[in-house]
Amino acid sequence: MRDTRDNKTKNLIYVVVPAVFLAVLIAFNLIMNYLLIPYSFTRMKIHRIETETYDDLILGSSHAGTDIDAARLAELTGRTSFNAAQGEQFPVDSYYMLQDACIDQKPDRVIYEFDPTYWLTAQEIDSSYAGMFYEMRMSSVKIRYFFDKMWGADFRTWTAPWYFYRSQFKNISVNIYTKSQENYKIYGTATFDSETLTVHEDGFIAVKPGKWNDDITVREWTERMIQKDDEEFFIKIAEFCRSEGIELVVVTTPIPKETYEAGQANFEAAYAHMDGLAAQYGFEYICFNRGELKNERFMSSERFADWDGHMYGEAATEFTAVLAGKL
């Protein structure tokens, strides 16, 4: 009888000790995430698409984030719009953000910004890698997102996101203060008003005058260089939109004339590739760097903060009026 009780006690210990250790580990990670990870507008953007419904949902990279003024678009089209685009949003992220947004109610139209650069480079596993996944609500969509993106990455990106911010210990007091403010609690944007940009409630990132320090970079566009996962998840976006009756419009925003000319052959190859996908999957592709849509004024380097193609806020508002006329 005593041996039986001893065995039961041992078995209980084998269960309780690991469970307690796991609970402590989870609690530690949650605390460290709160203390070290700064407030990002990713949190606001994910919250908006999960809690509100828009006629037009804008997805894509930072070019869309800074170059498409959602308020101006809504004003001219008479449709509600939200700009969920941001830097480091690769096609896999756009796909799952769209899936997440459609859990409760789907948009009528998706405006997806195609920046060829994102199809030629693998995403670096750093502090921004898990940002969109980390902020997303728990759902079957997030579980699929985990296996499609996070499972094969550095395990610290999902077990301990704070690890990538471990140099931020000196900013803990600032993080605590910011996260205790009402603006943070209501997913506001006041925190992001800086010397370089302003983030609007509709997701538009308005860049203020001032040049960023960068160089013109030319990337070779060939079938061999295309990141197959990026194309795969873009096709998933196209197929999902078609199956759900969501209109899909793909847009390539203007870039500085000097940048276009430095890599013209590669840009044209990329645009032709998207033409082929548009024909195959039945969506509209609008490219503002070629043909009748090519506008020397919009491609003037004076309208951009850098050579990559991030427009100043006023230029983006003016460009959005042209885009609205094409939609």
pLDDT tens digit string along 217-251? 889 999 889 999 999 999 999 999 999 999 999 99
- The rounded distance, in Å, linking the Cα atoms of 141 and 54 is 19
The predicted pLDDT at position 231 comes to 96
* pLDDT at 8 exceeding the cut of 80: no
The predicted pLDDT at position 2 comes to 53
Ramachandran angles phi, psi of 197, nearest 5°: -160, 165
- The rounded distance, in Å, linking the Cα atoms of 277 and 281 is 6
Residue 27 counted as domain residue: no
Work out the mean pLDDT of the chain and round it to a whole number: 92
Q: List the Cα angle 113/52/242 in 5-degree steps.
A: 45
The predicted pLDDT at position 282 comes to 97
Residue 80 counted as domain residue: yes
Q: How confident is the model at residue 191 (pLDDT cuts 50, 70, 90)?
A: confident
Residue 177 counted as domain residue: no
Q: How confident is the model at residue 47 (pLDDT cuts 50, 70, 90)?
A: very high
The predicted pLDDT at position 125 comes to 87
Q: Which two tokens stand for residue 149?
A: 């993106």
Residue 109 counted as domain residue: yes
Residue 148 counted as domain residue: yes
Residue 12 counted as domain residue: no
Ranking 5-9, 119-123, 151-155, 275-279 by mean pLDDT, the lowest is: 5-9
| Residue 204 three-state SS | coil
| Residue 57 three-state SS | strand
**How many Cα atoms within 13 Å fall on the side-chain side of residue 81?**
28
Residue 106's nearest CA partner among 49, 59, 60 is 49
* pLDDT at 6 exceeding the cut of 80: no
Looking at residue 234, which CATH number applies to its domain?
3.40.50.1110
Amino acid (one-letter) located at 4:
T
Residue 28 counted as domain residue: no
List of residues 6+ apart from 113 with CB closer than 8 A? 58, 59, 60, 61, 63, 64, 67, 68, 85, 250, 251, 252, 253
- The rounded distance, in Å, linking the Cα atoms of 217 and 89 is 19
| Number of domains comprising the chain | 1
Residue ranges with strand state E in the chain: 56-59, 81-83, 109-113, 197-199, 205-207, 247-252, 284-287
| Per-residue pLDDT tens digits for 257-268 | 999 999 999 999
The predicted pLDDT at position 17 comes to 66
Residue 6 counted as domain residue: no
Ranking 13-27, 160-174, 288-302 by mean pLDDT, the lowest is: 13-27
* pLDDT at 90 exceeding the cut of 80: yes
Q: How confident is the model at residue 13 (pLDDT cuts 50, 70, 90)?
A: low
What's the domain range around 45? 41-162+189-326
